[in-house]
Amino acid sequence: MRTLPSQPQRLPFPYRAEAGVVSQLLSGLNGALDWAAAAHSARPWVQAVRDNPPPFWAMESLLKEYPISSAEGLALMRLAEALLRVPDAETAIALTADQLGRADFDGSGKHDGKALARLSSSAIALSKKFLPSSAGAAVESSGLFNKIGARTVVAATLRAVQLLGRQFVLGQTIGEAMNEATSSRKKLSNLRFSYDMLGEGARTDLDALKYLASYEKAIKSIAATARKDLATELNDGISIKLSALHPRYEDAQHERVMAELVPRVWGLCELAASANINLTIDAEEVDRLELSLDVFEALAAKVAEHCMPWQENGERPWAGLGLAMQAYQTRSLDLIQHIIAIGRKYKLRLMCRLVKGAYWDSEIKRAQEMGLPHYPVFTHKHHTDVSYLACAKALLDAPDAVYPQFAGHNAGTIAAILQMASRVVRAGRSSEHLNPTSQAGAAEPALPGRRRSAPPGGSEPHEMGSVGAQFELQRLHGMGEGIFREVLKNPLISCRVYAPVGSHRDLLAYLVRRLLENGANSSFVHQLADESIGMDLLLTSPLTLSRQSISGLEPEPSLPLPLDLYGPSRKNSAGLDLTVESMRAPLRAALLSTEVPKIAVFDTKLVSGPLSTGMSSYKKWSKIPVEERAAALRKAADALEQQLPKFCALLVKEAFKTWGDAVSEVREAVDFLRYYANEAERIMAPVALPGPTGETNELRLTARGVWVCISPWNFPLAIFMGQVAAALSTGNAVIAKPAEQTPGVAWEAVRLMHAAGVPEGALQLLHGPGETVGAALVAAPQIAGVVFTGSTQVAKIINRALAAKDGAIVPLIAETGGVNAMLVDSSALPEQVADAVVQSAFRSAGQRCSALRLLCVHESIADRMIEMIQGAAKELVLGDTANLATDVGPVIDAEA
């Protein structure tokens, strides 16, 4: 059984300092590119687009009128994301009213004096008047005119969102899409297409099989028009998403993915190979990159074994296996070099689609949430642009192993690629020629593909396309059409359109990624539509900007590193990415070396001793300046971070935590220590009070005495440390009584606190049952307060015991019971709901007070939602939590 698997790490550490990576990329581009010449070539394209702007309803124009950084743009984007999947009128009206009500469309937008722009804002503002005054207002409470008006507004809004979506979808079925492609080719003969069957990742195996059938159907449809006498790259192709073909496409499920997913994808490859069409695997999130490489290399080996020899019927070998790569990843160039090595190892020519990347926001958020040392993606657009150019150069320099496909809409980047390609030609790597002074200022590539060996017994048959282009450009359907209209005036330049296919319901997540990607102020598409941005600024050299940024001359603010997320207030806790081998290795070592300590049960007859020690220590500890107490807590936090592997191993062994939960719990404990250190310094500082002249009045908070902290077994480190840190930071002494199931974790935490400077008398640990040790401590007259996390029943017992005491009221701080509920309306994304429900309900085997207990789903989507949640739950792995693949471990004991 796999615990923490040891796997070779093919790529460098993903969380490296950005400046160092950019510096290496810039060095690799020295002498390879004349950006000024590239910008000169791009100017006519840009000017032509600006002279013939897209219509107002086009995406570029809408983003200019309503930027996503504005309230109006955000409102419209939320509507675009959710409205099409809402099946009931009431929710649709409420959603529309809510979003349109968040913005001022009367005064929004620049309009630039354009009548359609003014009319649009006026129409939206008028529409708001027909909607309920708030999302919660009932439609029925309005008059007949308003009821009819509200439904009309929603219907019109739905139609508008559908029209927006149609800009990005070539057809709702593969047949429709192919017909549209045929029409497009009548206008531009040098177009090819790669069809993408829209849909998010599968959550159930049934979903995965549906996506598989959809891909199979699409390949068979594309095959009907493909030509076997052409080079594979000259035919249309298909793009597939691995997460759509397996419900657990993640690194922790590596063995299962390789056993189940590879055969599914290979079946698609065989279909594509038999039809001589290309199949490209789409790029996804960073944490799946190494896994995708394993899948891709397994497929490459099969292609080399089954699809490379010339067939007896004279058909050429299949050269259509491809992979998309994201230039915004800091490891993008390393990835390309690895793919080139795979191509050479198996004597293949692999198709490589180079894209900028579409998951930037989620990658940034993930790194921040996980407390990683750096970001896995570049945080400046110009750094990504430099990475793209460096990757393009590497691809062009390896024509024997890769067929480059350059996807993007940046005119400067396109011109730079054509310039670099022309230099490859002049260097003698091709027999044909690029004319850098071609029409519209573009370079003219007519670069031959690699000649493959002749079939047995004869020379290579002569047919049209036996020598294909050395590379191709690519664009997304519905984007960059103006620029490519100019570029493709040169008939020798080939362009493949990435063409999404699917219903409007399937479009939504894809649409939002496109809007986010191109609605950012730094986006070329966004800036191209804004004529207030001058040509020189639009085509500024990313190399120059990047040299300035890494030398400290930042042209724009830098994003704080994940560990600096909270600014000067406190440091974010450092975490681990369990998909990275170098981060797993210390955990694996700790699992082997760490033993859970055996803690003796305390004899309650001796309780007076710890109480006396606590009172004595309290008098000394409370007099220590709060800054020194806070410093001890921060020192403990730093030590806990350094010992994260050890404490994770303890949590796995004693509390049956999964590795992911263990890492999160250690980080939460670190956050508690730093948070309470800061809060103590804030609230314990003297506050000057007003008073008569010559009189000084101050308000000071003081410690109370000895506190009893009773912590639970479901968070034996985080809640334990939170209770203790809050009491200690404010000058109190603590007697900690951890849950009897998990004393080892608490014992090691106390040792760490002592080593950090907390006196042994100020923090004592007593282990034993709550009925005896806990009861004795609560009943002790010396106790100044009790902090308890656990069941409501026990909290009531403690409360009654404290109330029965003579003397001053003893405070009880209790966190108990509760039912966590989730309300899901019909606008919610089903996949997101399924993820949240399964994680909340079953993480830690449901042994959390915050675990989901009650799920309320709108009846219009209930059946579909229940089916998806049930299917996702079936995919969970139950077992030993030392195994990285385990999702749900055992309950803590037989009683639980």
Provide the annotated active-site residues: 815, 849
* Residue with tokens 């006196």, as numbered in its chain: 759
Distance between CA 170 and CA 185 in Å, rounded?
13
Question: 39 is written with which tokens?
Answer: 């910008």
Distance between CA 21 and CA 327 in Å, rounded?
12
Number of H helices, E strands in the chain: 31, 17
Strand intervals (E) in 245-329: 278-281, 321-326
Please choose, from the candidates 351, 348, 321, the residue with its C-alpha nearest in 3D space to the C-alpha of residue 336.
Answer: 351
Distance between CA 827 and CA 824 in Å, rounded?
8
Please choose, from the candidates 142, 100, 90, 107, the residue with its C-alpha nearest in 3D space to the C-alpha of residue 124.
Answer: 100
What DSSP designation does 605 have?
Answer: G
Strand intervals (E) in 540-595: none
Let me know: does 851 contact 882? Beta carbons within 8 Å: no
3-state secondary structure of 706: strand
Please choose, from the candidates 236, 307, 308, the residue with its C-alpha nearest in 3D space to the C-alpha of residue 277.
Answer: 236
Phi, psi for residue 249 in degrees, rounded to 5: -75, 80
3-state secondary structure of 388: helix
The full length of the chain comes to: 896
Let me know: does 708 contact 737? Beta carbons within 8 Å: yes
Compute the C-alpha angle 172/320/304, nearest 5°.
140
Four-residue CA torsion sign, 326, 332, 333, 335: negative
Question: 113 is written with which tokens?
Answer: 């004096």
Distance between CA 502 and CA 174 in Å, rounded?
8
* Residue with tokens 């796997």, as numbered in its chain: 7
Four-residue CA torsion sign, 238, 243, 249, 251: positive
Let me know: does 384 contact 441? Beta carbons within 8 Å: no
Distance between CA 827 and CA 91 in Å, rounded?
7
In the chain, the amino acid numbered 130 is: F
Distances (CA, A) of 820 to 522, 722, 788, 854: 41, 22, 19, 6
Three-state SS string over 478-534 comes to CCCHHHHHHHCCCCCCCEEEEEEECCHHHHHHHHHHHHHHHHCCCCHHHHHHCCCCC
Distance between CA 827 and CA 794 in Å, rounded?
41
In the chain, the amino acid numbered 248 is: R
**All residues at 6 or more sequence positions from 457 whose CB lies less than 8 Å from its CB, including other chains:** none
Let me know: does 472 contact 233? Beta carbons within 8 Å: yes
Please choose, from the candidates 449, 519, 413, the residue with its C-alpha nearest in 3D space to the C-alpha of residue 72.
Answer: 519
Burial label for 7, CB within 10 Å (0-12, 13-18, 19+), is: middle
3-state secondary structure of 749: helix
Distance between CA 822 and CA 373 in Å, rounded?
33
Half-sphere exposure of 648 (CA within 13 A, CB side): 30
Question: 293 is written with which tokens?
Answer: 């490489």
